[in-house]
Chain A
């Protein structure tokens, strides 16, 4: 069975009328992906599972507030997971010492596996951002990825690049302005 945006949207709608089976279907299809999203930020399987649990309870309780014309379903759920993970990161004060490489978490010996059905969805979600990131220099590009994918603070990024947090803040802000213009330009062309 393919697992498309429309199907996810329908399942979320069923959650709004408290259909637990719908939540279970969402969980079965997306939880490995979402758990990995949380894991990349928290670097702890225990904490990522806690976040996943909190996020799905929030998905259940907020399903009636989901608006598909504003966000695609997996984007909405991923945002919930990420914000919960960032909250957890803040509470747990989990600041890892080793900031060697963003790919660290990608090669850890956990049960990382292909998620074909989620992949199908993600292919639909490709955005202009990835293209526009290529217009930034390597440090800016990497800073974006470290922040969004791995939950790094400005200070964490500064440590990695042996600079200070204000410089990172400046990189991010200049990068955002440049990328926003790039995305707007591509959107204008495509519309």
Chain B
């Protein structure tokens, strides 16, 4: 029976197992166990990525096999299905489900990206890349509350606010949920919706780069005393990176498993 020695597996063995995983010779329980390790260990993920890239060099360039015509039709039908469904009007959990609102929210992000481009980003030097990350933060009802754009070159986060209601004497706090470790960390405390941008520290820029999701919460004046988000979530949204700045990114995983 295949057994991992958690934490003390030599690097050489990780490489060998990663190779066998990618090549496909690691099967059955061994494969399932390796997949668990893949989910939890950076070194395993890196080893898999290494062998995926290296072994790809074995693919022959000249050989192709035309797919059947119906294959594309089936794909089109499958990817169109979620849009045809009508979500329950009373199911708040479903409303938070990013699969339901992400498509149109991202479309809205693109639209806002254009608006931002005209209103703000064009004020940046021409050679600067306008946006690296976009997050569209929506409330329980799916309404856009805040769109956040970040630029690597300026280390700024541009904010486009919609109507956000907060109680008197309260502040808002923006948080990043890490893609790497799932931890939630504060980016900024905001006491109004007038701010059009935030200047990010190097640490906060790294948080944004690594963020899977941003959330906006209502907090006590001055921000969360516990340094963790309250239950009063005003909006949240998944971060989407623009491809043009891809080579500048440093973290996060690209799982194909």
- Check A74–B56 contact: CB distance below 8 A: yes
Query: Given the complex of chains A and B, what is the CA–CA distance between A91 and B246 in angstroms?
Result: 36
Contacts of A125 in B (CB 8 A): 53, 56-57
Contact B64 A112 (CB under 8 A): yes
Identify which of A56, A71, A86 contacts B75 (C-beta below 8 A).
A56
Q: How many residues of B contact A (CB 8 A)?
A: 60
Beyond A13-B243, A149-B59, whether A18 also contacts B71 by CB under 8 A is no
- Contact for A151 among B24, B60, B61, B68, CB less than 8 A: B24
Q: Which of B4-49 contact A (CB under 8 A)?
A: 12, 15-16, 19-20, 22-25, 27, 49
Taking a contact as CB atoms under 8 Å apart, the answer to whether B19 and A172 are in contact is yes
Is A36 within 8 A of B12, CB to CB?
no
Q: Which 8 A-B pairs have the closest CB atoms?
A: A32-B64, A13-B243, A127-B57, A68-B246, A70-B254, A67-B254, A79-B256, A36-B65
Additional 10 contacts, C-beta under 8 A, given A39-B65, A111-B65: A49-B68, A53-B74, A71-B256, A76-B256, A82-B24, A86-B24, A113-B66, A115-B62, A148-B23, A151-B24
Instruction: Please name 27 pairs of A and B residues whose Cβ atoms are closer than 8 Å in the assembled complex, sorted by A.
Output: A10-B244, A17-B109, A17-B240, A20-B76, A27-B72, A31-B71, A35-B65, A36-B64, A64-B238, A68-B249, A69-B247, A70-B253, A70-B254, A79-B256, A110-B65, A112-B64, A113-B66, A115-B62, A125-B56, A125-B57, A129-B54, A129-B55, A145-B58, A147-B25, A148-B58, A153-B24, A172-B23
